[in-house]
Amino acid sequence: MTDESRNKAGTSDFLTQPISRRNMLKLAGIGGIGALVGASGMGGVLALTQASGSGSMNKAGAAGGIVPFYGEHQAGILTEVQNHVYFASFDITAEKRPEVIDLFRDWTAAAANMTQGRDVAEKLANEYVPPADTGEAAGLLPSNLTITFGVGPSFFLKDGVDRFGLGAKRPQALSELPVFPLDDLQPEWCGGDVCVQVCADDPQVAFHALRNLTRRARGIAAVRWTQAGFQRTHQADPKKATPRNLFGFKDGTGNPDVNDPKLMNQYVWVQPQDGPAWLAGGTYLVVRRIQMRIEVWDRTTLRDQEDTFGRHRDSGAPLGGQDEFEPLDLNRKDKNGQLVIPATAHARIAHGDGQVKLLRRSFSYADGIEPKTGALNAGHLFICFQRDPARQFIPIQQNLAKNDKLNEYIVHRGSGIFACFPGVKQGSYLGEALFS
């Protein structure tokens, strides 16, 4: 949906609100117009910068790099993938529903503030208490910060206990994922009651957001696991080609077009008839922390690497093809009668019959070394969104786990499934329909 695209960041909501000094400084920095800006609202500033004809205004950061927080759907799903992610899974430690509601109310306000480039909460005059905002994002551009929230199966039912009296509202589709063949999941990288996906074009802006949410949650929710991830930055790739994973191959080529609302309703957004009502306009997030056997991959021949993916490494085109986006010709055989795209190639298995799609929004991670072996601890933070995991991620992954040649080079270490709330309207809060 284009309403989430950052090119349209200057919504009327944003234009009419009083401009904070901090935002003002940011804008001033971009356009070099500090001296010209009066005390009017944002609209005036935009008018000024647009009139100046500066090319920089067309770039993401031009309008402050702001993605609207309020809307029909949550941001961070169809939003153009930012350079960095901090993904966090939280356990709810509170026992009563009102406390959980308080948390989501507070997080809503906090996320609305931070994504719009403001402090997490208003500054305090008193110097004898710690500052409300932790401060490391002060003076930084909002950097297309998005914060996306969801709840996991254990939010509804944990160890057989319906903790918050919401058990009946748990959608059938929000069930723990089955164990797939070859899974080597580690409990410390799995599950969680709530997920928070923080994305931004700046790692410090992203960390700041997660840190402040964590701080505000103390006593109600505690971080269970967190993973930072990255993609190539937009600075490094101004043409915005499909990003490459750490195996050097393009990743995300087959994604459905996020600008096609029909496709998004078909593949991503939970529809009213799908139920439950509180999730209509929301989506299911599946996250997998996939470690890559980097050393093994690096000593694999180019031929084997390309056969593993079923694509050419340089162009991203299907094997035997020229263009990244040309359709996979799965029946084509070479002169020896062998399939050009091997039967076990990742692209073939993931493609299936071509009818099942999901929206991938993945990142790479690099976490130092494995202390035991000295091997690089790096991999793929696979994140995907879909309307129904039972018909999308699960069958695809069943198939991949059984047949994908890529399994020789990867191992799934972490996993989670979450139902991401629909978007928030101003005056409401995240998950209000679930709690009311």
Partner 1 sequence: MKKTVAFTSMLLIVSAVLFGCGSQPADKAAPQPPQESKPAGGADVSEEMKSVTDSYRAYALEQIDQFVQATESFTDAVKNGDLEKAQALYAPTRMFYERIEPIAEALGDLDPDIDARENDVPDEEWRGFHRIEKGLWIDKTTKGYETYADQLINDAKLLRGKVETVEVTPQMLVTGAVELLNEVSSSKVTGEEERYSHTDLYDFAANVEGAEKIYELLKPAIEKKDSGLSQEIEKRFAEVDKLLASCKKGEGYVLYTELGEEQIKKLSQAIDNLAEPLSNMGIVLEG
List, in sequence order, every residue forming a beta bridge with 381; answer none if it has no partner.
289, 363
How many other CB atoms sit within 10 Å of the CB of residue 386?
25
Contact footprint for partner 1 (CB under 8 A)? 93, 125-130, 215, 218-219, 222
The two three-digit tokens of residue 110, written as one number: 């906090």
Nearer to partner 1, 158 or 215 (CB): 215
Nearer to partner 1, 196 or 383 (CB): 196
Q: Minimum distance between the CB of residue 136 and partner 1, rounded to whole angstroms?
A: 18
Nearer to partner 1, 53 or 187 (CB): 187
> Rounded CA gap, 249 and 243, in Å?
8
Q: Minimum distance between the CB of residue 43 and partner 1, rounded to whole angstroms?
A: 34
Distance of CA 348 to the CA centre of its chain: 25
Name the burial class of residue 65, with classes exposed (0-12), middle (13-18) and buried (19+) by CB atoms within 10 angstroms of its CB. buried
Q: Minimum distance between the CB of residue 95 and partner 1, rounded to whole angstroms?
A: 11
**Residue owning tokens 């994922």:** 177
Q: Minimum distance between the CB of residue 125 and partner 1, rounded to whole angstroms?
A: 7
> Rounded CA gap, 297 and 407, in Å?
11
What is the 3-class SS of 54-100, one letter each residue? CHHHHCHHHHCCCCCCCCCCCCCCCCCCCCEEEEEEEEECCCCHHHH
Nearer to partner 1, 218 or 372 (CB): 218
Q: Minimum distance between the CB of residue 81 and partner 1, rounded to whole angstroms?
A: 33
Nearest to 78 by CA among 209, 227, 267: 267
Q: Minimum distance between the CB of residue 189 and partner 1, rounded to whole angstroms?
A: 16
Q: Minimum distance between the CB of residue 131 and partner 1, rounded to whole angstroms?
A: 11
> Rounded CA gap, 224 and 228, in Å?
14
List, in sequence order, every residue forming a beta bridge with 195; answer none if it has no partner.
89, 150
Q: Minimum distance between the CB of residue 223 and partner 1, rounded to whole angstroms?
A: 9
- Answer for the pair 209, 200: CB distance below 8 angstroms, yes or no: yes
What b-and-e string marks burial along 16-52, b requiring 16 or more CB atoms within 10 Å of the CB? eeebeebbeebbbebbebeeebeeeebeebbebbeee
Nearer to partner 1, 6 or 216 (CB): 216
Nearer to partner 1, 216 or 357 (CB): 216
Nearer to partner 1, 215 or 391 (CB): 215
Nearer to partner 1, 128 or 373 (CB): 128
Q: Minimum distance between the CB of residue 222 and partner 1, rounded to whole angstroms?
A: 5
Q: How many residues does the chain have?
A: 436
Nearest to 314 by CA among 242, 265, 386: 242
Phi, psi dihedrals of residue 81, rounded to the nearest 5°: -60, 125
Nearer to partner 1, 126 or 355 (CB): 126
Q: Minimum distance between the CB of residue 39 and partner 1, rounded to whole angstroms?
A: 24
Nearer to partner 1, 130 or 139 (CB): 130
> Rounded CA gap, 340 and 348, in Å?
11
Q: Minimum distance between the CB of residue 127 and partner 1, rounded to whole angstroms?
A: 6
> Rounded CA gap, 60 and 55, in Å?
11
Sheet strands (E) in 273-334: 283-292
Helix-strand-coil split of the chain, %, nearest 5: 30, 20, 50
> What's the alpha-carbon Rg for the chain, to the nearest Å?
22
Q: How far is CA 256 from CA 263, 336, 364, in A?
A: 7, 34, 21
Nearer to partner 1, 124 or 296 (CB): 124
- Answer for the pair 408, 400: CB distance below 8 angstroms, yes or no: no
